[in-house]
Amino acid sequence: MKNFSRREFLQSASIVSIGLSAGLRTSLASPAEPHLTFPTEPRARLAVTSWPFREFIDSPTNTYRQTEKPCMDLKDFPGMVATKFGVHNICPLAAHFRSTDPAYLEAFRQSVQQAGSHLVDLGLGQGSFWDSDPARRQKALGNGQHWIDLAVQLGSPSIRQHLGGSRGVKPDVELASQTLGRLAEYGAAKNILINLENDDLHNEDPFFIVSVIEKVGHPYLRALPDVGNTLANGDPNYNERGVAAMLKHAYGICHVKDQLVMESGKTYNVDLPKMFALAKESGFKGYFVMEWDGAPTDDPYAGTERLVAETLKLLK
C-alpha cells in the first residue's frame, strides 16, 4: 500500500489575522478540503489501535500497564500487528509513547517503516475544550496543537482528540466550538485532521459531537464513529442512530468492536452487519480500526484476531 497522498494546505494572511469564533466562516476564509487516498482492498482498509494492548505497553504515561504481563515498547507494536494480524496500519495512543524526544520519535518512525506499516491516526487524551476558565481551554488547545506537530513528524494524517470537562460542568457546544474551531484551523495549516470520537457518554455523546462539528463547519474537524461505545447507555437504537449521525461527518477512520464490556461485567454485543451496512450507506471510504474490547481476563490478541476475521468477512 502506498503512503498517503498529501496536499499542501496554503493559508492566506487574512485567515491568520482573523480570530475564529464558533461556526463563523467568512468569504475570505474558505479552508481547503483534506485530500487522502484510501485503499479499497479489504485487508488494506484495516488498522489496529494500541488501546487493547495497554496492559502490555511500557510507558511512564500509561497508567494501565500491568507489570506482571510481558512488556512491549510501542516501537514493537507495528511489527507485532503486521506479524500476528497481517495488518499494516496502526493507531498508537499518545500515552503509549515512552518519550516524545526526537530520538525516540525517529526510532518509532523507523519501526513503522521497517514493519511495512503506516500511521492512520494518533490518539490523544482528554482536553477541557468547554471549560468556563479560558486558561483551561487554552491548555487543552495547546496540548492538541503540540500533538498535531508530532503527528506531522510521525507521518500521521490525523489525531483523535478526546473531549473532557471539569466535574459537574455540562458540555457546552458554543465554547467547545470556539476552541475546537481554533484547533481545526491549526490542523488545517499542517494538513492534519482532527477526529472526535463518541466515547464517554457524558462528554462525548455522538449527537453533541455532531452539533459541535456542524457549528464549527470546518472540513478538518471530523467525526470518528465508534460502533459500540454508545451501547454503554443500554439502548441499541440510540447507538445505531448515533453511529449513523457520526458517519455523516466521518472521513478517515471508524472504530470497530464486536462487544462492549462494562466494569460491572455486563456485556453489550455489537450488531456488526448493521454497523457495516450503515458505513456503506454513508459512503465511508476510510479505515476500519480494530479496537477490541473485553473483560480483564480475556486475551486481546485472540480477540483482535477474531475481530479482524469478522471485519474481513463483512468487507468482502
pLDDT of residue 31: 56
Task: Report whether 132 contacts 90 (CB < 8 A).
Answer: no
User: How would you list the strands of the sheet with 158-164, edge to edge?
Assistant: 122-128, 158-164, 193-197, 221-224
Task: Report whether 82 contacts 88 (CB < 8 A).
Answer: yes
Cell of 221: 474537524
What single-letter amino acid sits at 310? E
- Best CA proximity match to 183, nearest among 124, 238, 267: 124
Residue 15's CB: how many other CB atoms inside 10 A? Answer: 17
**What count of Cα atoms within 13 Å lies in the side-chain half-sphere of residue 88?**
13
pLDDT of residue 167: 76
pLDDT of residue 176: 98
Task: Report whether 195 contacts 158 (CB < 8 A).
Answer: yes
Task: Report whether 251 contacts 242 (CB < 8 A).
Answer: no
- Kindly report the backbone phi and psi dihedral angles of residue 254, in degrees, each rounded to the nearest multiple of 5, phi listed first: -140, 130
| pTM (global) more than 0.75 | yes
Domains and CATH numbers, the chain: 42-315 (3.20.20.150)
Residue 35's CB: how many other CB atoms inside 10 A? Answer: 12
- Best CA proximity match to 20, nearest among 10, 29, 32: 29
Q: How far apart are CA 154 and CA 133, in angstroms?
A: 32
Q: CA-CA distances (angstroms) from residue 165 to 72, 129, 183, 255?
A: 32, 7, 17, 23
Q: How far apart are CA 125 and CA 140, in angstroms?
A: 10
Q: How far apart are CA 56 and CA 67, in angstroms?
A: 8
Query: For cell 490542523, what's the residue?
Result: 187
Task: Report whether 176 contacts 206 (CB < 8 A).
Answer: no
Instruction: Classify 135 as helix, strand or coil.
Output: helix
Instruction: Classify 287 as helix, strand or coil.
Output: strand
Task: Encode the chain (316 residues) as per-residue pLDDT tens digits.
Answer: 333 333 333 333 333 333 333 343 333 344 589 999 999 999 999 999 999 999 999 999 999 999 999 999 999 999 999 999 999 999 999 999 999 999 999 999 999 999 999 999 999 999 999 999 999 999 999 999 999 999 999 999 999 999 988 777 899 999 999 999 999 999 999 999 999 999 999 999 999 999 999 999 999 999 999 999 999 999 999 999 999 999 999 999 999 999 999 999 999 999 999 999 999 999 999 999 999 999 999 999 999 999 999 999 999 9
Residue 261's CB: how many other CB atoms inside 10 A? Answer: 16
Task: Report whether 222 contacts 232 (CB < 8 A).
Answer: no
Q: How far apart are CA 310 and CA 258, in angstroms?
A: 9
